[in-house]
Amino acid sequence: MEKKVRVRFAPSPTGGLHLGGVRTALFNYLFAKKHNGTFILRVEDTDQTRFVSGAEEYIESCLAWCGIHPDESPVAGGEFGPYRQSERKPSYRKYAEQLIASGNAYYAFDTSEELDAKRREVPNFLYGQTSRMQMRNSLTLSEDEVSTLLAQNTPHVIRIKIPEDEHVSFMDMIRGHVSFDTNLIDDKVLLKADGMPTYHLAVVVDDKAMEISHIFRGEEWLPSAPIHILLWRYLGWDDEMPHWVHLPLILKPDGNGKLSKRDGDRLGFPVYAQNWADPKTGDLTKGFRELGFMPGAFVNLLAMLGWNDGTDQEIFTLAELIDKFSVDRISKAGAKFDFEKAKWYNHEWIKRADAQDLLVTVKDEFEAKGITLNDDDYALKVIDLIKDRCNLLTDFITQSEYFFALPASYDVASVKGKWTEEKATYFNAFAAVLTDGISAAAMEEKFKEMAAEHALKPGELMLPFRIMLVGGKFGPAVFDIASTLGTEETRKRISAALIAFG
């Protein structure tokens, strides 16, 4: 009987959540939901020196914003908890000691000073097959010496003993057959001096305890795979080893290397899902949410970084992604991040969104600018009129602010050269004949009819009319703007602009 699908996203609470991390969570989630499985959030907080207060809550907030809801987590609970590694500390030493007893690990008593001296003495020093017998550990010390040191609570770590002249091979669901030469792998620390496990031991023990069936993680973890496979083998769990899925990297826009926060800072786009404020320095790193991305668009663009369904379709809802997702459509090659393409996704999502679904977000954006939108029906009309012009949710401010307040200024320079007294007379007359509730089409017809009566060309009047309404040369169709503003407001704006035009 095939094992039930159980996958996990296991971030460290050390800072902002990179979009690569969100994509890893997303692919785990899509696979779980596709196969009626379980998606788990497990917090890997064993490195207390890098732990950042608030980072765990931030991760949970990012996932919730994306609609990626864990079935089991520190918050949701579950029968395989606890879901923070720091709360599982007592379970790890037992397995580290088991590895020592089987001859697959050893105690290492080397001090920091001794290790530093060795690194200075030996360029690119690695603690492993060629050096372990020159160091202070339970392989070079007598049993009595080791017992004495342990009895005296001498600080020590436990290291895996990597075998010589072997190849550790496995099948990766994306990459196929992968093999590593053990002679190139050092003896990684499994248990630190403070009793906390390193990632290598904790991830294997926890994956076994939580009955994880498939491990989706970034390609950068490939070099760790042989260590983890050896641990599964040495702990006697070969038959329960999960399937491996190493995801392609998200690359810099030029394709040269993994996308980093520094690249985003340098090129002017975010790489975090949401704003992250460093609690120590107060430094703020901007995120996609605050920049104005819709969560559906963010998830959509992440899914397309390294995956496609084999068709030309690019816009997917989360439900559609679950339905279409398959590991065999994930690319081996890294995916270049293109911020212009990311904005295109967001633009498409905004265009397709129902105005009602955008209302709360748009009102919040205006509230942040000190403008309260009290009339929902009017706001919905405005949203419908200008959403096709918005790449980001924040664009609703610049694209529609004039619907809620008189223009702060007018682009008089664009009018001055061709402005005449006859045009001023025309606009006064046009304002006088506008009737309440007039449609955009009827207004346009009246506009052109009166232009003929005043011996003016409609084309010469359109730009001044637009500037009267919005202050500049922008916005949707001018009669749609006037119709939405309403007759009274349109008259008021014509009058104010005529004074400004002189």
3-class SS string, 237-249? CHHHCCEEEEECC
Q: Any residues with CB less than 8 A from the CB of 129 and at least 6 apart, and which? A: 162, 164, 183, 187
The residue with tokens 């609609």 is 67
Q: Where are the beta strands (DSSP E) in 188-251?
A: 189-191, 214-218, 243-247, 250-251
The DSSP symbol for 3 reads: P
Out of 34, 89, 118, 261, which one is annotated catalytic? 261
Mean pLDDT per block of 10 residues along the chain (502 residues) reads 88 94 98 98 88 94 98 97 92 95 98 95 94 97 98 97 97 97 97 93 97 97 97 97 97 94 92 94 93 97 97 98 98 96 98 96 91 94 96 94 92 92 96 94 97 96 97 95 96 95 86
Is 161 in the active site? no
What does the block give as tokens for 352?
């397709």
d(CA 94, CA 123): 35
Q: What is the pLDDT of residue 1?
A: 54
Cα 67 off chain centre by: 12
Strand 105-108 relative to strand 38-41: parallel, antiparallel, unpaired? unpaired
pLDDT number for residue 369: 87
What is the pLDDT at residue 2?
Answer: 67
pLDDT of 90 reads 87
Q: What is the dihedral of CA 42, 47, 50, 55, to 10 degrees?
A: 20
Q: Rounded to whole angstroms, how far apart are CA atoms 141 and 281?
A: 46
Task: Compute the distance between CA of residue 102 and CA of residue 175 in angstroms, rounded to an integer.
Answer: 32
Cα 114–chain centre separation: 42
Tell me how crowded residue 236 is: count the other CB atoms within 10 A of its CB.
Answer: 10
Tokens of 296: 């559906």
